[in-house]
Every structure is written in structure tokens, then in C-alpha cells.
Structure 1
Amino acid sequence: MAATEEVPLDDKAKRMRDLLSSFYSTDHTNSSNYGVVSSKYATLDTINSPSFDADHYMNLLVQKSNMETLLQRHVEMAAEIKNLDTDLQMLVYENYNKFISATDTIKRMNNNIVGMEANMEQLLDKILSVQSRSDGVNTSLFEKREHIEKMHRTRNLLRKVQFIYDLPERLAKCIKSEAYADAVKFYTGAMPIFKAYGDSSFQDCKKASEEAVGIIIEKLQGKLFSDVESIQTRAEAVMLLQQLDFPVDNLKEQLFEKLEQSLGDLQLDFDEKASNLAKSDEFGKQESPDQIPAAHELSTREYVEAVRAYRVIFPDSEQRLIKISHDLVTRHFETIQKRIRIHISSADLLHKLRLIWEDVLLMDEVLPEARVADVCLEATNHAVKQYIASAFSHLLQDIADSLIKVQSGQKEVMKEDHPLQAVLEASKKAMIQGSMGVLLEFRQLLDDNLALLVRLKDLVIVWVQEGFQDFFRTLHNQFLIISGKTDSASQQLAFPDSTQGDKTVAGLVLVLSQLSVFIEQNAIPRITEEIATSFSDGGARGSDSGPAFVPAEICRIFRSAGEKFLHLYIKMKTERVSVLLKKRFTTPNWVKHKEPREVHMFVDLFFQELEGALSEVKQILPQGTSRKHRRADSNGSTASSRSNPLRDDRLLTRSNTQKARSQLLETHLAKLFNQKMEIFTKVDSTQDSVLTTIVKLCLKSLQEFVRLQTFNRSGFQQIQLDVQFLRNSVKDKVEDEAAVDFLLDEVIVAAAERCLDPIPLESPVLDRLVQAKLEKTKEQSSPSS
């Protein structure tokens, strides 16, 4: 039944206590307190209170409950009454057993106490007897004890008097053996006697002792200002002078100057030990690995002991010692920074940092207030960041050195059969090996367990990523500067001034183009993979800042740079030919030109430039697709003397100049309407594409120069002869013969339009002059071959 459910433990325990109280009638306070409560406030829950009113409770219960509830409550209360009776009976039984046990215990105690009183009386009699005998012994020995104590005091006094008389001799022996600490101990021990009796009984001893102490003070001052004495010896001298009441505060400034001077010796020791340690690693560790650090640690411990002594001697010198300790750490890191600016390996840097950290730990033991570890951590932060930046700077310089060989024309490069190819390969090697080398150096910093570097791990990762991002941006800027694509003269350059502006070698621009392609396609992916493997766990950079190294951006920059440099190379080669063409067309008087007898010399110069470009692109660029764009004779321009014999016949039969010019104009208009040809297409990084583009631009320049002149018949025929030779020689060197034919036709048309009497050479004469030039060119090239 529900009425038999267990009552909560607290309520049950409280009820039991109330039952016991009512049973034994021991607590009437609660009843009196609860009696003041009016029964009219009683509720169904106050049945356990002392002021419980049964009648009122029943009235309330009847009013609020139905018959079923009353029956249920009856059953519950009957069960509770039964449980309470059972609990009360059990409590009575348990307490009865405890009362019986307590009664037995009291009986046993009474039995044990019987007879104890007699024993206590016997003990008291014995104590009184011992006390009386002790008083008798003390009374009999009192006079002798007084005499013994008096003799003992007399003996001590005689020993002190003898020590005072022997003090000058003792001091002399200490001076001779340089045992100044013992001398000061003896003299300070005799000072109370000298103050009391120095002017009477021990006047001579006091005078002799003071003379000896004066000598000791001079000796201690000599040690204090001696450069050969150690810091500990000088500090001990100050302590002894202080014990002799010598005004050491006057020596404080000089002593600190000596301490600061010793920092210079310690710094030189640090430089020498660190350099020797690096050399020992470099040359097979000829010295013991622990020998050099132990020697440096010995010097540092001497300095630490001096600091400990100074703190004792000058309690108010803490700030000065803190500044000196900070200066020592700062000087160490200045040495590291100097080495970093020159060049330093990661192993050498780690050796130096480890030596500094050992010094810091030693200084923290004696001067924790200086917080030298925090100063060291901050300095290490700057040093490692400078080292990473210096490593990228040296990598940039190595790449620059490999490139400027072309510009400076170094003999070892010029002796190469393919100098541009050698420079490109050297630059690629410097890029890949240099990048992997600096990553390996940086990895050693991360793998080292030095406490300084462990705390900077995340920052090192961020610095490496940012360093590569800035390195490639700077490298791109340097490429622009060397190619003459920027006017930022104030920018700090890694290249010599001879590589700027119009002095830039065209071959070097071509090398830059292919090096940019190599960086985009090979270097960036490889570096990105290495960074993702070893340098991707940094958390020092905020999440809002984004990644420090963005390879996609760098690839985009160098992809664009490769295209720009390729077009710049073509432009530079074209401009050289344009200078040649300008000189060719501005020098003679074309209106008074003589009858052509041979191909003009400018054609040879043009082919020399073309051969130079061909030689350069063969070293750097791939061959490309061997696809020739040709055209049939029927599709050619009607202005060509070889492709349109009908036009030649008609021109030869006409003697009227005006009619010839009209026909040239008609044929040119017919060509424009009948033929549509794309001349300038996208330039690819291949030999054929670059060379063809150069030829097209040169021929276009030739056309423009022709348009600026006015020719007589002989001048026009000279242009016709030169163009015909070019037509026969250039086609084999280009991939787009159709476009070249078209441009050559344009040159002839332009010359005809600017000619006063555009009568062309007869075909046999034209062929004979061209053939003669070909044979002459063949004869000139035979001896050289």
C-alpha cells in the first residue's frame, strides 16, 4: 500500500528524537515554544508539532477530503502508528543495552581504583626524600662552585689578554700569507677590548694592530683596483673593508665600473667560444662538444658570483645590477645580429642562443628581479626574425648573382657554347636549391628543443610563410627593375646599376621570362608542398588576417611576368632592327637614287640581328610545333613581282606613269576586299612563335619607314630587290609564311604608292641580282664553317 512507503530519513530521524524526548521527558522547551502557536493556524501538515490540535485537524480533514480519502488516510495513519511503536520499542531496547554496558564499565573502574591512593602516598614520600637530599648536596658544593666559576672567568680573561698581546704578531703573519680574511676576523674580535681599554692597558697593542690593519686596508684596495684579480676576489676585498668600517660607499662607483668593464671581457669570451664551437662543428668536431660551453659557463659563473656578492655588499644596488645584466644579454644579441648581417647558419645561431640561454638561467638564480629571461625572449624574437629575413635576402642575392653574369659578360659565362642556357640553369638551381636550403635551415630551428625557440615556434612558422611571400614579390620587382619595366630608382636593388634601363641585355630579359615560367610551374608548387608539410601549424597569425603565404597569387604574378618579359624581349629585338631601318631610310636621297646593282647592306645587318635572336631563343625556348602557314600563289598579293607575273607584264608594257599608279591602287584595293588575313596572333613561348613575331614586327616597321619616303624609279627598284631577297631567305626561318608574304607585299605596295615612277625591275634582272647575292653570301659563310 501507499501508506507503507518509507518516510524520508530526515523526517524519520526527527520523529524518533521527538519520541525519545517525550518518553524520557527531557526537553520541554520545544513544547513551550510551540504552545504559543494558535491552533487555528494548524494545517494537515502540522500533525508532528507540539501544538497539534486533533479536533481541529479532524474537522479540516473531513472538510477537505471525501470518504475514500478519509479511509485511505486512516489506513496510512494506522500503519504509521504501528511503525512508530516498533521504532520506539527498538530505541528503548538499544538504549537499555547501552545503559547496562555503561554500568559494567563503571564497576570495573571502581575495582581498579581501589589501592591507588596508597601508592600515591608512597610516591609522594619518595619525592620529598629526594628533594631534601638534593638541597643538602647543593649546600655543601656551593662554595666550591663559586670558586670554580671565578677561576674560569679569570682564565678566559687571561686568554683574551694574551690574544690582545699576540694580535700584532698574528696580523703580521696574516699579511705575510695574504690571509686577509683571518686578519679581519682577528681584529674585529679584538675591537670591543680596544674600545674599552685601548687608551690605557693595551695602548701599544692597539697602536701596532692599527698599523697592521692600515697595511691590510692598502692591500685590499690594491686587490680591489687590480685588473688581474677576479671579480670574486675584488668583491671579497670590499666585504673585508666593510667589516673594517672602511667607507666602501666611496668605492661603489669604481667597483661597478670594474664590473661593467668585466662585461667586455665576458663578451669577448662569448664571441670566441661561440666561433670556436661553430668551427669545431664545421671541421669534424675536433674539440670536445662540452669543452667550449663549459669554459664559457665558468666565466659566466664568475660573473654570477660577483653579482651575488655585490647584492650583499651594496643592498641598494639592485637596479644597477639589473641594468648590467640586461646590458650583458643585449651585447650577446648584438654579436648575433652582426653575424646574421654577414651570414650565419642555423647551427651557429642555435649554438649562440644556447650559450646565451645558459647565461640567462645562471643570472636568474641570483637576480630573479631582473627578469632576464623575458629580455632574452624578446631579443631572441628579433634575432630569429632578422635571421629569417637575412636568409631570404641572401637567397635573393644568389639568384641575382646568377643573372647578372649575362649583363656583366663574365668570361666563364661567355666561354660557354650556350651562355643564356647556362645562366638559366644556374638561376633555376639557385632558386630550387636555395629555397630548399633555407627551408632546411628553418626546420632546424623548429626541431630544436631549446626553450627559447619552443616558445617562438608559431611565430617562426608565420615568419617563414610571410618571408616567402615577400621574397617572391621582391624577386618579381627585381625582375621588373633589371628588365627596365619600372622607374623606381629609389628602390633598394640587389642588382648592379648596369642592369637597369636601356643597358639591359635582351638575352637577359628572355632568361627572366623563362625563369618566371619555371618559378610558376616548378618552384612555387615544390615550396608550397614543403611549407604545407613542415610549416603549417602556426597559430600566431590571426584568423582574420588570412594565410601568410598565398601560392596562387605568386603564380599569377609570375605567369603575367613571364608573358611581359617575352613581349619585352620581342620589343627590344624589334627596336634594334628599327634603329637599323631608320638609318637605312633616312640617310640616302631616295629621289636621286641610282640604279640598283646589288642587295643593300642593311639586309645583311637585318639577318645578323635575326640570327642573333634565333641563337638566343634556341638556347632558352622549346622548338614548338613545326607547322608552316603557307599560301598559294593565287592567294598572294597582286603587288608581288614573283606571285603575280601578269601584273609584271602589264607594268612593263605601260610607259605611262599615271596609268601604272592607277593599276597599283586598283590591285591594292582588290587585295583588301578579296583577302582577310590575321597578321599578329598570340605569342607562345616557343622558338618559332617568337622568331616569327620578331620578323613580322620588323617588316611592319619596314613598311612604315617606306611610307615616310618618296622614291624615284631606281629607289623603288632597290626596295623591290631587297624585299625579294628577304622573301627568299626569311621564309625558311618562320612558321607563318603567309603572313610574312603578306607583309612583304605590303612593303612593295607602300613603296609603289610613294614612288614617282613605279616601274619595277624585269624578272630576269631581279632573279640574277638575287642569285648573285645568294652566291656571295654562301662564299662568305663557307670559310667560317
Structure 2
Amino acid sequence: LAIIWFVSVHGMLKLYYGLNEEGKTVDQAESMDPCDINGPHFDPEVYLNKLRRECSLGELMDQESCMVKQIRSLDSDMQTLVYENYNKFISATDTIRKMKNDFKKMEDEMDCLSTNMASITDFSARISGTLQDQHAQITKLSGVHTLLRKLQFLFELPARLNKCLELQAYAQAVSSHRRARCVLQQYRHMPSFRGIQDDCHAIMDKLAQELRQKFRDGGSSAKDLSECVELLLQLDEPAEELCDKFLSHAQSRLEADLLGLEAETDILEFIDRGCNEFVSSLCLVIASYQELFVNRPQEGELASKNIPQMAIGKLHAFVDALATRYFSLVERRIQEEKSVGDNSLLVRALDRFHRRLQAVAKLLPGSAVPSQGTEIVVRAARERIKQYLAALQSFYLNSLTDVRQALAAPRLGGSSAGELLSTLSASILNQIKSVLASVHLFTAKDITFSNKPYFKGEFCSHGVRESLVVNFIKFVCQSSRQFCESAGDRGGSTPPALLLLLSRLCLDYETSSITYILTLTDEQFLVQHHSPVTAVTALCGEAREAAQKLLNHYVKVQGLIISQMLRKSVETRDWVNTIEPRNVRAVMKRVVEDTTSIDVQVGLLYEEGVRKAHSSDSSKRTFSVYSSSRQQTRYAPSYTPSAPMDTNLLSNIHKLFSERVEIFSPVEFNKVSVLTGIIKISLKTFLECVRLRTFGRYGLQQIQVDCHYLQMYLWRFVSDENLVHFLLDEIVGSTAHRCLDPAPMEQSVIEVICERG
């Protein structure tokens, strides 16, 4: 029963929606199976017999349950379909009823309109028939009326022109005359028209004379001047003469604006007034001139004279002459802006100046005024770079003066060399950053000329990087080297500590500061190195060269200071008649004190350095009388003259096979190397002074005591103690060679004297 009911419902739905075998698509193959419940040839009896044969009782029950569910689902779908279609049927019924009413009303209106159109057509046909005979007459009368109105205008024209002349309505008079001029010219052979033409010519000559006088006086404004020129051109006045007069009057007005600019003192107000008065007036003159003479349509004789080309040439010459005077005022005012404290006013002024000149470029293509203005902006930026460079150089020199004063007059608790170096480096770097921040205003995004290719690349690369930063770094190196070149043999007036500090400053620049400053500049200004620029390695090499030269000169100066003390102590003493030594001379103590002070001074700025291993008896080293002997010796009581000669020969032979001591060798950047260089110069000077003197017995003994005292302290400052031993041996040996009675002092006595001293 369920199957039968399902099949009947399925058939009813197909019948309702109009689905039959003809409605199927071609690719849907019809099923001929009588057991296909969805097929058109389905047979319930065959299907039931098949199920009973093939399925068990449980499967039959399951099949029944499945069909019951499908039946209920179909029943629900049918109810939903009925409800939905019912609402649609109601809506369709209402729509059809409404359309019937609307169509009926529309049919009534169309019938009424058709009746009215028929009536109008009939009435129009009757009017056309009535007026058909009078149409030609009406057309003729209309033409006569138009001709009479023209004739009336011509007969009244002289009176009209006189009235306009009395009221100074020059434009209206010229317009009226131009309207009638062609007709009067065409019918001038008729006496009446010839009289009217003569009267009009006389009146217009008088009007042209008044316009010329008004134009000659200059008018009350630029607008009145342009109006006079326009009317005179309409009256066929010579255009070339009017061009000259127009430009002459405009020049007098613009020159008055230029004279007013000279009273301004503030750079921003100067540029604003120049742009708002002179440049604006110039643009107005250009626009008026082009409208009057260049863009004006030329007819007849004027066209053959090529008036626009002539007018353009005069306009370019006029604009260039006035712009040259204006630009000279602008450049002179920019050069007066020497203060580098605040750069914003100058940048804003240049930006406004550049913006307003672009209007001239649009009004007068091909003019050199915009490019000349751009060159002024570029030159102003370059000049500003030079001013900032001079300010940086002045700041650096003033900072050096402060450091020099601090070194020359130290106070209790004052700054050390290391603190002075840190302060100097930080102040220079901060000043560079401040200058870069001020210069960066030229490349701000809201500045019109900052993004122009002719400005930004050249300004950032060549201007800021090369002309400002690189030149300042070179100036630091060059000015530092000048302390070496200008100083005399004694160091001049330059404190040696300043030489040492500057050498460390240049060395720091070589190791880190130059790279940091140039990287900072490249990042801030996005420098694109299109043109050749100074490499970082070249600047670092120059800084290192300056540091080396300063350090070498520092060693030389300090060595010469100590050498001067030793030289005076040798030259001012009578070494032949001196008394037996009982103490170390004060100058030797001063030498040790100064060397210790230099060691502390250098240690504040440079690292220790590398020393060779010291022997265990370095402070107890003894000196022989002859440099060829390295052990303690004594003179025999009986001294023979041949002994010194033989010993001198042995000493010279020993020097041939010993390592040569380079006194003025380059100094390394460490404390040990610096002290070694100073001590070498000092002891070499001591040796040369000894070789020029003659000594007695006690003079030799005093030199022994002094050298032993120096050896006790100086060996700890040098990289190789053997160098000190060698030079001191040379001094004692040379003294013995120059001694008249070479009787050396006992070593134990020397040690007692030195320890007591």
C-alpha cells in the first residue's frame, strides 16, 4: 500500500509540474525496468514480488520504514508547496485586478488625447490655408523692418558716439563704431552714408587722441592701461609703438616696486614683498601683454607684419632686464644673511622665491628667469654650506684655545688630558650634528626645490658630504699638522700636552669618528655617490698620518726640552776643576721627574704597549768606564796613555758589530714607544754634549753618579732596557775618553750616593 501510495503521489507531482516523458533531456536515458521506482514503467506488483523473493523479513521491515519516512517527507513538501503557491496565487490575482483598472483608465486618456490631436490638426490646417496668401508679404515687411532699424542705427551713430565721448564710455563708443564701420565703408559712395562716415571718423579721431593722452599719463591702474591699449589697437593704432609704450609704463611701475624692496631688513619679509609686489606685477604685465599683442588675432596688414614674433622678442628682453635687477637685489640680501644660528627663515624664503618664479615659467615659456632663480637658490645653499664650514672651523679653533688654556694653567682638581679629549671630541661631534640638522632643512619634503634633480643630488653629495663634512675633517687634520710645521726646535708656544691630545684625537678619528660621521651624513641625506667623492679610507689615512706626525713631534719636543736641560747642565760646568761628587746633580733628578710626569701624561691617552722582558738586576746595573766592557772594571793605579787608545780601538770595533740605535725613528701609538723615543733623544743629546767637553777625575766620577742615577729610573720607561744601558755606557765611555785623569769611582760608593740622593 505504501508503495502504491508513493507511486500515485509521485505521478501527481509530475502531472502538476508538467513533467512527462517528452520533458526529459536527451541525455537522460529512459529506464525500462519495471522495478525502477522512479522510472515511467514501474510495476508495483513486480516490485513487491521481487522484494518478497530476494529480501528477508528484516530487510522488508527496513524497506517499509524507509518508505514511510520518504512518504512523510513528500507529504511535508507537498504541504509547503501548497502554502507557497497559495500566497503566489493570491498576489497574482491582486496584480491582475489592478492591471485591469489601470488599463481601463489609460484607454480613456488615450481616447481623449486622440480627439484633441485631431482637433489641433484641423485648426492648424485652416490657419495655414488662411495665411498662405500673405506669407510672402509678411517676409518682405520683416526684411524692410530690419533694414530700417539698421539705417536708424547708422543715422543716430554720430550722436551716439558724441554721447559716449562725453560720458567717457570709450569702450562702448569703439564697439558701436566697429559694428557700423563695414557698412559705412561699403556704401560710402552714397552722399548720405559718406557724411555719416566723415562725422564718425572725426569723432573717433578725437576719442583716439584722448585715449593716447590717457595712455601717455599712465592711467590710474594696470587695468586702465590695458584697456587703453586694447581700444587703441581696435582703432588701428600701430602695434609696435603701443608695445614700446606699454612696456615703458610697466617698467616704471616695476622699478618703483624694486626701490621699495631695499627698505626691507628681514629676509622673509624681503622675499614676501618681492614676490607679492614685483613678481606678481611682472606676471600681470606678462599676461596682459600676451593677451594684447601676442595672442590677439591679427588680420590684414597686421598679420603680414608678424606682430606676435616681434612682441615676444620685446617681452623677453623686458622681462630679462627687470629680472636681472631683481635677482641682484635678492643675491645681495641673501649674502647679508650671515647668521647661521637659525636656518629656517632662509630656507622658507628661498622656497617662496622658487615657487613664485614657476608662475613666470608657465606664463612665458622659454624665459631664462626660472633657471636664473634656480641658480640663485643653488648658490645660496652652497654659500650656506661655506658659512657652516667656517662656523665649524671657528668652533674647532675656539675649542682648541679652551683646551690650550686649560693645559697651560692647570688648577687643583682640574680636568685631566683624558677628560679634555672626551669633552673636545663630544663637543665637535655635537656641533657637527647640529650643523647637519640645520642643513637638513634644505632637503625637507615640503620644500619645492629639495626634490629637483638639479639640486638634491648635487647638494647632498658634493655640498653637504664633500664641501662641509669632508672639508671639515680635512681641516681638523691640516690644522693639527700645522702645530708641527709652525713650531720651532723648542716646540714654539704650543704646549706639548696639546700635541699629544691632538694626536690622540686624530687617531680616534681614524679608528671610528670619521666612519661614524660620514655614515651619519649618508643616512640623513640619502647621499647617492654619482660624482666622485672622497673615500673613507683616504680620510682615515690622512687622519692617521696627522696623528703620527703629531706624536712624532711631541716626542721630539719633549726630548728637546729635556735635552736642553742636559745641554745647559753640561755646558755651564767646569768639569776639569770640579769637586769630588757627593750627590746626584739636581738636573738629573729633574730629568727623572719630568720623564715620570710625561709617562703619566701619555698614559692618560695611550695604552701601555709591549715591553721586552727585564733582567732581574735592572735597577742595580753598573757601568764601566769604557763602552767595550760590560762588567765592572777598575783603573790600575798606574795609568798609561796607551791604555785609552787600545780601549778606544776596542770600543770602535764593538760598535761595528752592535745594533745601531735609531734616535728619531717613527713612534708607535703606545706609551712605551713614546717614552722610549723621548729618552733616546735625551740621552743622545747628553752623549753629544759630553763628547764636546774635557773632564777631570771628579768630572768623570760625577758623570758616573749621574748615569747610574738615570739608569736606576729610566730603564722602566723604555721598551728595551738594553737601549738605556747602551746609551749610558756610551756616555760614561765618552767621558772617560775625554778625561785627563780617568780614575773611576767605586761602584759601591756610587750606589750609596745615588740611593741617598
Q: State TM-score, norm by structure 1.
A: 0.60
Q: Which residue of 1 aligns with 2:422?
A: 425
Letter in 2 for 1:511: L
The CA deviation string for residues 147-184 of structure 1, in whole angstroms up to 9 with x for no partner, is x668746754675455455456524xxxxxxxxxx456
Kindly state the Cα deviation for residue 519 of structure 1 after the two structures are TM-superposed. 0.7
Given residue 686 of structure 2, which amino acid in structure 1 is its aligned partner?
L
Secondary structure of the residue that 1:685 maps to in structure 2?
A: coil
Residue ranges of structure 2 left out of the alignment (5+ in a row): 1-123, 185-192, 294-310
Residue of structure 1 in register with 2:287 after alignment = 308
Aligned residue type for 1:698: S
Q: How does 1:601-616 map to 2 (within 5 A)?
A: 601-603=586-588, 606-607=591-592, 609-610=594-595, 613-614=598-599, 616=601
* 1:366 matches 2:371: no
CA pair 662-215 structure 1, distance change in 2 beyond 3 A: same
- Taking only aligned residues, the RMSD between alpha carbons, in angstroms, comes to 5.4
> Residue type matched to 2:356 in 1?
D
- Give the direction of change, closer, same or farther, for the CA distance of 1:410–1:322 in structure 2 (3 Å limit): farther
Is it true that 1:448 corresponds to 2:445 in the alignment? yes
Q: Which residue number in structure 2 is paired with residue 521 of structure 1?
A: 511
Match status 1:749 vs 2:749: no
Structure 1 position 572, deviation (Å): 1.4
Residues 643-722 of structure 1 mapped to structure 2, 5 A cutoff: 647=632, 650-651=634-635, 654=637, 656=639, 658=641, 661=644, 683-722=667-706
In the aligned structure 2, how far is the partner of 1:267 from the partner of 1:196?
57
Alpha-carbon distance, 1:690 to partner: 2.0
Shift of 1:370: 0.9
**2:480 maps to which residue?**
479
Q: Give the letter aligned to residue 620 of structure 1.
A: L
Give the 3-state SS of the residue equivalent to 1:359 in structure 2.
helix
Distance 1:367 1:731, change over 3 A: same
State the shift of 1:565 in Å: 1.9
- Letter in structure 1 aligned against 2:317: R
Equivalent position to 1:563, from 545, 548, 551: 548
* Distance change (3 Å), C-alpha of 1:216 and 1:646: closer
SS of residue matched to 1:369: coil
Amino acid at match of 1:476: C
In structure 1, stretches of 5+ residues that fail to align are 1-125, 172-181, 278-291, 487-497, 775-785
Structure 2 vs 1, CA of residues 254 and 443 (structure 1 numbering), >3 Å: closer, same or farther? closer
Distance 1:409 1:387, change over 3 A: same
CA displacement 1:670-727 (0-9 Å, x = unmatched): 9879997989797443334423431232112111211122222233333334334434
- Do structure 1's residue 398 and structure 2's residue 395 form an aligned pair? yes
Asked if the contact 2:569–2:587 (Cα under 8 Å) also holds between the matched residues in 1, the reply is yes
Please say if residues 703 and 732 of structure 2, whose CA atoms lie closer than 8 Å, have aligned partners that are also in contact.
yes
SS in 2 for 1:368: coil
Task: Decide whether aligned partners of structure 1 residues 252 and 713 sit closer, same or farther in structure 2, where only a CA change above 3 A counts.
Answer: farther
CA change 1:600–1:142 in 2 (3 A) is: same
Deviations 1:100-153 (A, max 9, x none): xxxxxxxxxxxxxxxxxxxxxxxxxx99x969955645448968985x668746
Is the Cα–Cα contact under 8 Å of residues 614 and 691 in structure 1 kept in the other structure? yes
The alignment partner of 1:656 has SS state of: coil
State whether residues 711 and 755 of structure 1, in contact with CA within 8 Å, keep that contact through their aligned partners in structure 2. Answer: yes
The answer on whether the counterparts of 1:692 and 1:734 sit within 8 Å (CA) in structure 2 is: yes
Counterparts of 2:138 and 2:172 in 1: how far apart (Å)?
44
Change (3 A) 1:511 1:262: farther
Flag the 1:599–1:241 CA change in 2: closer, same or farther, 3 A: farther
Question: Which residue of 547, 563, 566 maps to 1:581?
Answer: 566
Moved more, 697-706 or 661-670: 661-670
- Which has the higher mean CA deviation after the structures are superposed, 156-165 or 298-307? 156-165
Whether contact under 8 Å (1:405, 1:423) holds in the other structure is no
* Distance verdict in 2 for CA 1:234–1:156, change over 3 Å: closer
The correspondence for 1:264, drawn from 258, 264, 285, is 258
**CA shift for structure 1 position 323:** 1.2
Q: 1:759 aligns with which of 733, 743, 747?
A: 743
Give the Cα separation in 2 of the matches to 1:696 and 1:264.
73
Structure 2 residue identity aligned to 1:603: M
1:574 alignment partner AA:
G
**C-alpha contact 1:664 1:752 (8 A) present in aligned 2:** no
Q: TM-score, normalised by structure 2?
A: 0.62
Cα deviation, 1:527-561, whole Å, max 9, x if unaligned, reads 354466566673634xxx6xx34222322332333
| Structure-2 change in CA distance of 1:325 and 1:430 (3 Å) | farther
Name the aligned partner's letter for residue 264 of structure 1. L
Quickly say closer, same or farther: Cα 1:249–1:374, change in 2 above 3 A: closer
Write the distance in 2 (CA, Å) between the matches of 1:712 and 1:397.
58
d(CA) in 2 for partners of 1:221, 1:504:
76
- 1:37-186 equivalences under 5 Å are 134=132, 136=134, 138-139=136-137, 146=144, 152=149, 156=153, 160=157, 162-163=159-160, 166=163, 169-171=166-168, 182=169, 186=173
> 1:213: how far off?
8.7
Q: Distance between the aligned counterparts of 2:412 and 2:203, measured in 1?
A: 95
Rounded to whole Å, the distance in 2 between the matches of 1:230 and 1:248 is 17
Distance 1:474 1:236, change over 3 A: farther
Distance in 2 (CA, whole Å) between partners of 1:634 and 1:605 is: 19
Q: Contact 1:267 / 1:328 at 8 angstroms: preserved in 2?
A: no
Percent identity between matched residues is 19
Hey, what does 1:74 align to over in structure 2? none
Using a 3 Å threshold, how does the CA distance of structure 1 residues 594 and 484 change in structure 2: closer, same or farther?
A: same
CA distance in 2, matches of 1:511, 1:740: 27
Distance 1:699 1:200 in 2: 122
Name the aligned partner's letter for residue 462 of structure 1.
Answer: S
1:274 aligns with 2:268: yes
| Distance in 2 (alpha carbons) for counterparts of 1:589 and 1:239 | 112
CA contact (8 A) 2:331 2:376 kept: no
Q: 1:529 to 1:130 in 2, by over 3 A?
A: same
Give how far 1:359 is off: 1.1
Residues 422, 265 of structure 1: CA spacing in aligned structure 2 closer, same or farther, 3 A cutoff? farther
Q: Which amino acid in the other structure matches residue 477 of structure 1?
A: Q
Task: Give the equivalent residue in structure 2 for 1:509.
Answer: 499
Preserved CA contact (<8 Å) 2:421 2:501: yes
The equivalent of 2:324 in structure 1 is: 327
SS at match of 1:479: helix
Report what 2:606 is aligned to: 621
**Displacement of 1:453 after TM fit?**
3.0
The Cα shift of 1:583 comes to 3.2
Pairwise CA distance, 1:460? 4.2
Alpha-carbon separation, structure 2, partners of 1:697 and 1:469: 37
Displacement after TM superposition at 1:755 (Å): 0.9
| CA distance 1:198–1:411, shift in 2 (3 Å) | farther
| Cα distance per residue 1:588-615 (max 9 Å; x no partner) | 4544545556554543654565366346
3-state DSSP class of the match of 2:558? helix
